[in-house]
Amino acid sequence: MSTAVAPSRISLRRVRGVAVLLGPAFVAAIAYVDPGNVASNISAGAQFGYLLVWVILMANLMAALVQFLSAKLGLVTGRTLPEVVRDRASRPVRLAYWAQAELVAMATDLAEVVGGAIALNLLFHLPLILGGVITGVVSMVLLAVQNRRGQKPFERVIIGMLAVIAIGFMASVVISPPSLSETAGGLLPRFSGTESVLLAAAMIGATVMPHAIYLHSALTRDRHGQAEAGAPRARLLRITRYDVGLAMLIAGAVNLSMLLMAANTLGGRDDVDSIESAHAAVRDALGPWAALLLAVGLLASGLASTSVGAYAGAMIMEGLLRRSIPLLARRLVTLIPALIILAAGIDPTRALIVSQVVLSFGIPFALIPLVRFTSDRTLMGADVNHRVTNALAWLIAAIITGLNLLLIYLTVTGH
């Protein structure tokens, strides 16, 4: 005699089965809500109000497609993006490619360590250089969790920090809702001078981040291995779409909240030229609790993103050069430039924005190989990109490259 299983119980079991496989995209999503995003989005909102809302929407839609392609490459081939580049490039090309990837990793760590240092200064009045050292040490602890206990515990820690980041940055929008009509008006693509183009490039560089493109292929490969062709792979790819979609939705909401908070609360003020002054302005306008949540969100952002960035840097080096170095040495390689910036007294907010522009220039080096490889039938088999997917991916590469060229032109000519 067979026993019928209630449909609701089957649905719950299916949801749990899917939920267990989620996670890699949430680790990659930390790169999309790092301190570089904070500096770029708050600066954009404070200086230009709702003008660049469309940039955040466009950047997050682009990010969702890019991250899925990276995850798909790892699932289908069982290799990371840097490993595929290594296998298909000559030694001189590999070395040059690794050099630019290391430069991008340093720019990434600059943003994340500086952001953590600013947060510790806001919360505990610690000197920036001490805050940078503490941020680096804590990131090593988080990396030790990944090394000793595996990816799943690391994912849980990072997802917890993502929740803190979301609460910290979205609280101000809940406390003081922005104008819906002006937000809708910001969806019309346009610029207003060289500085708005610089900020748009910084916002895209802070959203579609090169190290996240490299990393996602490793995260899915390490979590699921090389997926068996057929139904098992199709299921994992379908779940990966959910994983990427949900993670990018959260990251996009956080980024939009940053800009809307700045546009609504800080717009029109001439004393908001740094994260510190933005924090003070939020405290004056919305109260100490909103300012506290903002600082806590920034701290969680710095700690989580610098850990993920260092993880990506190690993976890139191992993939391209087949070499790995001790955790402490790897951490110091990218940490030292950030500490030098803090010790030199350079404006940390400006350093954050410039670092995001550097990241934006590194995106084509990650994106173009990714699109080429995932559109190669000999490599991807039946899971090769659809024509529409290819067209969209190449369009994304063209938009980012074109925006960077426009930025160079406007900066050189002074327009």
Structural domains of the chain, with CATH: 20-413 (1.20.1740.10)
What integer pLDDT is reported at residue 1 of this predicted model? Answer: 46
- The helix-helix angle for 288-321 and 128-149 (nearest 10°) equals 60
What integer pLDDT is reported at residue 268 of this predicted model? Answer: 66
What integer pLDDT is reported at residue 314 of this predicted model? Answer: 85
Tell me what the pLDDT averaged over the chain comes to. 85
What integer pLDDT is reported at residue 178 of this predicted model? Answer: 93
The more confidently predicted of residues 372 and 269 is 372
Residues 276-291: what's their mean pLDDT?
Answer: 89
What integer pLDDT is reported at residue 392 of this predicted model? Answer: 94
What integer pLDDT is reported at residue 2 of this predicted model? Answer: 47
What integer pLDDT is reported at residue 288 of this predicted model? Answer: 93
Residues above pLDDT 70, as percent of the chain: 90
Residue 48 has pLDDT above 80, yes or no: yes
Q: Report pLDDT digits (tens) over 241-277.
A: 999 999 999 999 999 999 999 999 887 666 666 788 8
What integer pLDDT is reported at residue 408 of this predicted model? Answer: 65
pLDDT band at 16 (very low <50, low <70, confident <90, very high): very low
Residues 6+ apart with CB under 8 A from 43: 199, 202, 262, 349, 353
Q: Which of 265-279, 296-310, 378-392 has the lowest mean pLDDT?
A: 265-279
The more confidently predicted of residues 241 and 405 is 241
Residue 179 to residue 362: CA distance in whole angstroms: 35
What integer pLDDT is reported at residue 184 of this predicted model? Answer: 95
Residue 18 to residue 235: CA distance in whole angstroms: 9
* C-alpha gyration radius of the chain: 21
The identity of residue 148, as a single letter, is R
Q: Which of 29-33, 40-44, 157-161, 346-350 has the lowest mean pLDDT?
A: 346-350
Q: Report pLDDT digits (tens) over 113-165.
A: 988 999 999 999 999 999 999 998 998 888 887 778 777 888 888 889 999 99
Q: Report pLDDT digits (tens) over 49-61.
A: 999 999 999 999 9
Please say whether the beta carbons of 203 and 41 come within 8 A. Answer: yes
pLDDT band at 399 (very low <50, low <70, confident <90, very high): confident
Classify the phi-psi angles of 227: left when phi > 0, otherwise alpha if psi is within -120 to 50, otherwise beta: beta
Q: Which of 158-167, 312-321, 361-370, 406-415 has the lowest mean pLDDT?
A: 406-415
pLDDT band at 293 (very low <50, low <70, confident <90, very high): very high
pLDDT band at 206 (very low <50, low <70, confident <90, very high): low
pLDDT band at 9 (very low <50, low <70, confident <90, very high): low
Q: What is the 3-state secondary structure (H, E, C) of 112-175?
A: HHHHHHHHHHHHHCCCHHHHHHHHHHHHHHHHHHHHHHCHHHHHHHHHHHHHHHHHHHHHHHHH
pLDDT band at 173 (very low <50, low <70, confident <90, very high): very high
Residues above pLDDT 90, as percent of the chain: 45
Residue 410 has pLDDT above 50, yes or no: yes
Residue 206 to residue 408: CA distance in whole angstroms: 18
pLDDT band at 10 (very low <50, low <70, confident <90, very high): very low
- 27: burial class by Cβ within 10 Å (0-12, 13-18, 19+)? buried
Tell me the CB-side half-sphere exposure of residue 145, using CA atoms within 13 A: 16
Residue 90 phi, psi dihedral angles, 5° rounding:
-75, 165
Residue 17 has pLDDT above 60, yes or no: no
The more confidently predicted of residues 10 and 335 is 335
Residue 412 has pLDDT above 70, yes or no: no
The more confidently predicted of residues 368 and 12 is 368
